[in-house]
Chain A
């Protein structure tokens, strides 16, 4: 079975640009969550979507947005990029409370 897939794996952007990250969950998983992992830190919760509805939002500015599609895949958008947005962005899908299956992440570098 395919795991959680994320694209692209690496991305380099400049300040002020916009970026879209994509995630395909494990087949049958209806919940998708996004996390930001800064080097040397634990992942920080950004969003959770379940059945195309936003179920939770972390302490991130409105520059961060996301959506989930009918096939349960998801996109994370970040506008007006800042240097501090440089991080590994992780997508996780799940069918059971707290039991997350993570993708390998998208490494975003903002120059």
Chain B
């Protein structure tokens, strides 16, 4: 079956540091890949997505590239801010119309300190 493995946190960084959160996946075919973010006290929000190999998803300064050869979708940001403190979930969904099962990773908690 499909699965997502992401680094366990918490990850603690100083403001303006570089962020990498690793994510690898196992899936049949060519799934779509996502990063979702959960800010404290809020629901999950889609951060970015990529639907095919070598696609780069980006949003709010975050980037992730769909690497089929390494089955990875690592999340990066060049300079984190305190407001980026949240839990980040890597996720995938199979490429089949009408079926929306999204498989999530365990989540990585990011804490940014001033």
CB < 8 Å: which of A35, A41, A99 contacts B107? A41
A33–B103 alpha-carbon span in the complex (Å) = 12
A43 to B106, CA, bound (A): 8
- Interface stretch among B12-20, B59-67, B74-82, B93-101? B93-101
Q: How far is the CA of A33 from the CA of B46 in the complex (A)?
A: 15
The smallest C-beta distance from B35 to any residue of chain A, in angstroms, reads 12
Tell me the smallest distance from the CB of B43 to a CB of chain A, in Å: 4
Chain B nearest CB from A107 CB (Å) reads 12
The count of A-to-B residue pairs whose CB atoms sit within 8 angstroms is: 70
A48 touches B107 (CB 8 A): no
Residues on A facing B (Cβ under 8 Å): 4, 31, 33, 35, 40-45, 48, 50, 55-56, 58, 90, 92, 94, 97-105
Known contacts A94-B100, A100-B100; is-contact A42 B89 (Cβ 8 Å): yes
Q: Does B69 contact A (CB under 8 A)?
A: no
- With A41-B106, A97-B32 in contact, do A102 and B43 touch (Cβ < 8 Å)? yes
Q: Nearest chain A CB to B57's CB is how many angstroms away?
A: 11
Residue in A closest to B109 when the chains form the complex, CB atoms: A40
Report the separation of the CA atoms of residues A94 and B104 in the bound assembly, to the nearest whole angstrom: 16
In the complex, what residues of A have CB within 8 A of residue B103's CB?
A: 45
Residues of B within 8 A of A90 (CB): 43-44
